[in-house]
């Protein structure tokens, strides 16, 4: 049994939902899990393993997640770490590789990762500023859509549990 931190960054809430489902899978396997939004200070004292994830905008992890990884590089080097992202690209199974590539910047900041994944997110236009909506229109992703699959995220949590 380990103390696991599931840390995430979100703008629209999809990554929080995915993180919560991953945590449910880890808890089902007997781990003690803390789910934390990395926009608030999140120390690593007492933590044995970490899952870190972010939503994706314009191809990159959110700044607070990358910043948190930079801040805790030394401690994270001694812990098992898994990485995930939540994006719309992952809603198309034929683009799984492209969605996984969004993890690279985060993975590059770590000594190694035990596992990584990309989960499909959602798009709620009302939650996005008008100029960001224009950006999405440019890549034909501006229609409201929700692909968040709690069961898939929970199953990954169960799978990860064995690594921790
Ligand atoms: C301004 C903006 C840019 C986005 N850029 C991308 C992108 O480059 N690739 C992608 O697959 N999804 C992109 N998305 C979709 C988000 O990754 C998706 O909405 C995801 O659910 C966001 O997670 P969050 O709700 O936790 O913030 C974008 C969304 C917004 C609003």
Domains of the chain: which residue ranges?
A: 3-161
- Between β-strands 145-146 and 122-123, what pairing exists: parallel, antiparallel or unpaired? antiparallel
| pLDDT of 18 strictly over 90 | yes
> What kind of fold does domain 3-161 have according to CATH?
Rossmann fold (3.40.50)
The binding-site residues of ligand 1, defined as CB within 6 angstroms of any ligand atom, are 10-15, 55-59, 86-89, 121-123, 128, 132, 135-136
Counting every residue written for the chain, the total comes to 164
pLDDT digits (tens, 9 = 90+) for 31-72: 999 999 999 999 999 999 999 999 999 999 999 999 999 999
Q: Can you read off the two tokens belonging to residue 138?
A: 């440019």
| pLDDT of 4 strictly over 80 | yes
* Percent of the chain scoring above 70 in pLDDT: 98
pLDDT of 134:
81
For residue 139, the tally of other CB atoms under 10 A from its CB is 10
Work out which ligand 1 atom sits closest to the CA atom of 58. 8
Identify the residue whose C-alpha is closest to ligand 1 atom 9. 59
- CA 45 to ligand 1 center in whole angstroms: 31
Residue in the structure block whose two tokens are 């992202």: 85
Judged by DSSP in three states, 51 sits in strand
> What stretch of H or E contains 123?
strand 122-123
């Amino acid at each position: 049994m380990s103390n696991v931190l599931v840390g995430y960054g979100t703008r629209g809430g999809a990554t929080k939902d995915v993180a919560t489902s991953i945590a449910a899978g880890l808890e089902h396997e007997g781990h003690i899990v803390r789910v934390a939004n990395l926009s608030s200070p999140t120390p690593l004292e007492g933590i044995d393993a970490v899952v870190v994830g972010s939503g994706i905008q314009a191809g990159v992890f959110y700044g607070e997640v990358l910043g948190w990884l930079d801040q805790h590089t030394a401690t994270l080097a001694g812990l098992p770490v898994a990485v995930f992202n939540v994006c719309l690209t992952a809603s198309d199974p034929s683009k799984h590789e492209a969605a996984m590539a969004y993890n690279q910047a985060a993975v590059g900041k770590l000594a190694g990762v035990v596992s990584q994944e990309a989960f499909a997110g959602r798009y709620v236009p009302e939650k996005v500023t008008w100029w960001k909506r224009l950006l999405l229109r440019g890549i034909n992703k501006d229609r409201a859509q929700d692909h968040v699959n709690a069961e898939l995220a929970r199953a990954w949590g169960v799978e990860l549990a064995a690594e921790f």
